[in-house]
Structure 1
Amino acid sequence: VRADPWSRGSYRLGFGAAASRLRHVPRRTASCCSRSRSSCRTLLATALAQAGRPAEAAPLLTGVAAGHHPAYRLYLPDDLLALAWGAAAEGATTEAIARAAEAADLARDAGSPAYEVLAWQTAVQLGGATAAATRRLTSLAGLGPRAETALTHAKAWSDEDGDALLEVAHAWARLGDLVAAGDAAAQAADVQRRAGRQGSALTAAATAEKLAERSGACTPALVVAARPLPLTAREREIAALAARGLSNKDIAARLTLSVRTVEGHLYRAGHKLGVSERAALSGLLGVE
């Protein structure tokens, strides 16, 4: 996929750059131009969020994608993807997927196919937007190996094909995108487990764990693979937000739900997990 230098910078994050490798970025921004400072901040925030460190990513995401000169619009998809990963790291996967889809639509309108591919890939890694992603990636597949692999990933996740997802994981690894590879393997484990194929699930989960060790990532898909629980995606999302200290009202506002709906999901999650206190959710969900 052809991309401008800043888009290629985003791709390098997908290649598994650990957050620790970007710690020097803030110290260098004083001598950079405004765009470079913004890009360094965006890249670092994305890496920290992908590493499962939302508290460190959050300050860097303040004001991202807002108040910029119109000429900056070309780079807004990158910022929206940083916000997507930030939301995902906080447990708000619905918001994260919406951000990624927004980035894809913006990239399409701006005529930036490389950004659009990356945005739809991100949406699929986060577990959503498969119909829209498949439709758009089908038209973009001719751009190169990344677009083709992203399309295969979207189809495999939509079809809940665990074997195909594991193959996609290997394809991403061959391309050097270890974060996407880990997510595909983790999704394969989730699909196989839900289908009752425990042996295949364990194999996929072990692959995901090895890829996570190489990339330093701790994404939502990897957390699900590492801590399988008898919860629906929505129950897990709401339980994770509750474990992070959000009130039912805050969760409802963030996910655009009624407070009663949030209460119902939390009750069912607690019943399935055998807990009645919000504090107990943190350990079960791996929320720090």
Structure 2
Amino acid sequence: MPDYTNDARFQELQFLAQFDERRWILKRYVDNSPSDNLHERHMVLSLIFREMLNGPDVMSDFRMGSYNSTGEIAARFDQESRHQKARLVHDILNGQNVELERGHLGRLRLAELQDELRSSRLREPFGILYDGRDAERDLAVAIMNGRPEAPVSVAYLDMNGLKAFNEDGDHATGDAAIKAFFHVLSKAISDAGDVYRKGGDEVVVVMPATSLDVAKKRMLGALASLGNETIQVAGKARSLSSSCGLLTISSSKEKPEDVIHRADLAQKKAKTASKLEHGVRRSTLAVVEGDAVKVESI
């Protein structure tokens, strides 16, 4: 699986997003630092030259003085802007501490990068959900944008009985069940977040700015809709069901891979609780609330 953290676009987005929480960031780059620090220095210099960091719109020590014409004022402004940029670049290249500040062009670049990454997402082979390779990256972006009052909810689902669909019918029957499963989730989540295929019949749901209560209602509705879907298996209708783990995060320090793993662990608890007689399973939701996991069957 490709490492999204090595994507230069993601690195630039991650750096610019830091300024959402603070106005200035103190940085120092030295020549004997690791290569990732050198790459960040290159990126910072590029952002400065593109006036996304410390541009004219964030100048704080410019003094107009007394001038005879607007032409003189413009020339003075241009000169001071270039001098400030030169001093900043000099200090960076010489390993001095510098204060970096994001300007309006930096905010626009941040929004542009988010749109660019979203538009570059791939679809899984059936063309219904997003490819799971983008799940962690998109969750990382959602975590960057999250706030305590607008947390990120994440669900992990595993369809029940895929092996039985394949064995009692055939692989075409199994594919039909997976497609129906994907379509139900895509429709149920379409206006709340995005759905990603992580494996054969495993799915991750990322819902930005969604509280746990709202996410729980959304996932219960999706699981209920699954029960209304049937697939013909050897001439008999068989309903769909799924186990689902759900949690909500509000800290910007969360790692997306850890969050998805915890949601999967909750899903496994839901899977254990989903068993009925004769190998039949029902849809079950396991919700992480603090240190507890509460399981609810549909």
Instruction: Sort the TM-score into its range (normalised by shorter chain).
Output: under 0.3
Q: Which has the higher strand share?
A: 2
Q: Which has the higher helix share?
A: 1
TM-score, reference length from structure 2: 0.25
